[in-house]
Amino acid sequence: MKPLLPGVEIEPSSPANAAVIWLHGLGANGHDFEPVVPELKLPTTLPVRFIFPHAPQLPVTINGGFMMPAWYDILEMELDRKVDLTQLRHSALQIQQLIDREIERGIDSRRIVVAGFSQGGAVGFEAALSYPKPLAGLLALSTYFATADSIDIHPANRQLPVQIFHGNSDDVVPEQLGRKSVTFLRKQGFTPGYQTFPMGHSVCLGEIQAISGWLQQVLA
């Protein structure tokens, strides 16, 4: 087995009975969403372990080939994102290894959420929907479904709760890509939640509160 991705882990005050694996966006790292955890104000009756993995350093074509934390290479700045699907799927497999580890630690797969922002969300779609055991949910933030045309959705996650949040003035990942993900999922028989916020390519307090409510719902 290949070594697991490094990352940041935040343990609850009592032994965890659920886990959230949360992927950052291009050029960031696992510390990016660390400050969100206390802002979620989850009840002490819901002890959740948060795992924020660090993406590897990769050369990114749209940024002149500079090395930066990236889940996969982005080849063109076109709307539907010409991306390196081989790298994306490799990253998804690495996230699935983190899911496997949580199960080995005693967390039921149905109490594990995969979350991702922007590029991390594209990996999240692939990792969660192709995983061979049922998960608790998928949280997709300001992102796009890069592998919609090729994903092999596993029967175990055909009923997976999916929540998509997007900024309605996002100039990095246009909101229409969020709506496109919803359309694809509905055609596949999913019933994704979709909500927009008055923001760009970021997060806001209202969104954090909505994430908290959704997590409490799927992990109830």
Which residues are part of the catalytic machinery?
118, 170, 201
By CB atoms closer than 10 A (0-12, 13-18, 19+), residue 35 is exposed
Say which residue the tokens 């990095």 belong to: 172
Contacts of residue 183, defined as CB under 8 A and 6 or more positions apart, other chains included, come to none
In angstroms, the first-to-last Cα distance of the chain is 33
Q: Find out whether 169 and 200 touch, Cβ atoms under 8 Å.
A: yes
* Long-range pairs, 209-213, Cβ under 8 A, ≥24: 210/165, 211/36, 211/40, 211/115, 211/139, 211/163, 211/165, 212/40, 212/41, 212/42
Which region holds residue 196: left if phi is over 0, alpha if psi is between -120 and 50, else beta? beta
Half-sphere exposure at residue 72, Cβ-oriented, CA atoms within 13 angstroms: 27
Written as one letter, the residue type at 2 is K
Q: Which phi and psi (to 5°) does residue 162 adopt?
A: -125, 130
